Amino acid sequence: MNQMTGVAGFANALPVGPGLLAARDLGELTETAGARSVVRMDLAALELLVGDPDPSIAMSGQVGAQLKLRIGGTWLIASVRSLRRDPDSPLHVLAEIDFLGEGDEERLTGRIYNFRRGVTRYPMPGARAYAVTGADMREIFSANERPHVEIGTIYPTRDVRGALFVDALLGKHFALLGSTGTGKSTSTALILHRICELAPEGHIVMIDPHGEYSAAFRTTGMIYDVSNLQMPYWLMNFEEHCEVFVTASGRERQIDADILAKCLMAARSKNKLATEIGKITVDSPVPYLLSDLSNILQQEMGKMDRAGDTAPYLRLKTKIDEIKSDPRYGFMFSGMLVADTMAEFLSRIFRLPGDGKPISIIDVSGVPSDITAVVVAVLSRMVFDYAIWSRNEPQRPVLLVCEEAHRYVPSDRDTSGRAVRKVLERIAKEGRKYGVSLGLITQRPSDLAEGVLSQCGTIIAMRLNNDRDQAFVRAAMPEGARGFLDSIPSLRNRECIVCGEGVPIPIRVALDTLEEHKRPASSDPLFSELWKHSGGEEEIIPRVVKRWRGQGK
């Protein structure tokens, strides 16, 4: 049988047997366009395939399902975006399709191989459309030799594995989105566990605002919280200092900031490191004593002639003394943290070396809420600054995963938390140039700063119940994923749509079940079960009150 190209050879060159393909013939292409094409499908043909034992064939013609068309020696794969009745025939439906990619055809068997994203040639109207089989799906989603992690089973198949290409996933950032209760935390843990298994000498820093992930990574990572984080306050840059120490607003805030800059510079200059380095700035991570800063403020205040001029100094000094004496801030503002421990701190937090525990879980649930954003800002900036200043060294890329990302890069222009917003936006835009990857986890994508989600090359979307969130994700996803997007509100728990650089084409995946000891502590309470139990309240309440008053101690 001679191989012919174009539409004329489409129906004639069927090396897999005309009978087999004819049985899976769905209809014909009636309209071709770059962004939108239309296939006229035969309802009777679709009905015959519903009972097929191959789930991929049985799903043919449904929204989000794939179909294939041939042009020359190439199979084109398309996804069904939408369906509508054919006004000219009650026996047919019109399906809008998005072309996803193409693969070569093996001449003897007709199977697809060497699948790649994108389309080089479009078929002419009249080309026949066929059902995609489970074997086709295996070839399309085969990860081949590219480094990858398997996360679940591709819908609607029973055994085709869904994989994420690690280099593309991390090299261009990723976002995991899903409403509360959809399995978002467990899915995050699953992906991170798989990455840790693939790269036991990796470098991952995760900001955990609720203390959920400590249980999941107790044996495979290092857990840091207020009891052992020991983050030196002098690592803060000037902007972060202002967020902690400057309490005034409006014009007074600028006055206070100018005074703090002058006194902070004087305090840093007292360290012998400043002499060795030579020229330092107010942002230089040089250790200084809080008592020195407080004393310098006191001295400067003594130079003021009028009582009214001392108010800014008094505000700053009062705030500094308040933080010094408050045990809740001890993890960061303890007098024990004035030694030059910067190298040791970076080594611990970035897992350099990893010692087989490549992930650091930074549990900020015990951090006072008024400085949580500053703590996250310092950690995020440390990741970015380390990448910049280590450019001449052997590269050690770092993945920064930020849970509840909408808290730190919000869509509104709130003046609070500007430092963390600025650094995370910068990482999103420039991080990949320096080997910094960003993973954003959130249940409210519409509350994220505009542009941050669009910087994520891979989007993993779980069920989203809010219309605004769905619209926001739809705008961020590529055209070819639109058919999948319509199924986001109806996804089951632990199901997701993945699109972007990390997958060959957009996929719907039923995620693997994690072993109990690898799951985060984020399961919902079972009210119907827990409210059956009583007793012991007399002992519970005093214990809780004691922990409450001692701030967890």
Q: What pLDDT score does 6 carry?
A: 38
Cis (ω within 30 of 0) for the bond into 353? yes
Q: What is the dihedral of CA 176, 180, 185, 186, to 10 degrees?
A: -110
Chain mean position to CA 364: 18
3-state DSSP call for residue 92?
Answer: strand
3-state DSSP call for residue 126?
Answer: coil
Q: Where are the alpha helices (DSSP H) in 436-550?
A: 467-476, 482-485, 527-530, 537-549
pLDDT in tens, 165-209: 999 999 999 999 998 888 899 999 999 999 999 999 999 999 999
pTM for this model (two decimals): 0.86
Q: How far is 364 from 403, CA to CA, in rounded Å?
A: 11
* Residue appearing with tokens 């650091």: 360
Q: Report residues of the chain scoring pLDDT below 50.
A: 1-19
Q: How far is 462 from 510, CA to CA, in rounded Å?
A: 10
- Radius of gyration of the chain from Cα atoms? 29
The 3 state secondary structure assigned to 267-281 is HHHCCHHHHHHCCCC
Cβ-based burial of 435 (10 A; exposed 0-12, middle 13-18, buried ≥19): buried
Pairing mode, strands 436-442 and 458-461: unpaired
CB 165, CB 502: distance < 8 Å: yes
pLDDT in tens, 444-499: 998 888 788 889 999 999 998 888 888 888 877 765 566 677 777 878 888 999 98
Q: How far is 80 from 480, CA to CA, in rounded Å?
A: 9
Q: What pLDDT score does 449 carry?
A: 85
Which residues, 6+ apart, have CB-to-CB distance to 251 below 8 Å?
none
Q: How far is 323 from 545, CA to CA, in rounded Å?
A: 23
The half-sphere exposure of 457 on its side-chain side, counting CA atoms within 13 A, is: 19
Q: What pLDDT score does 2 carry?
A: 41
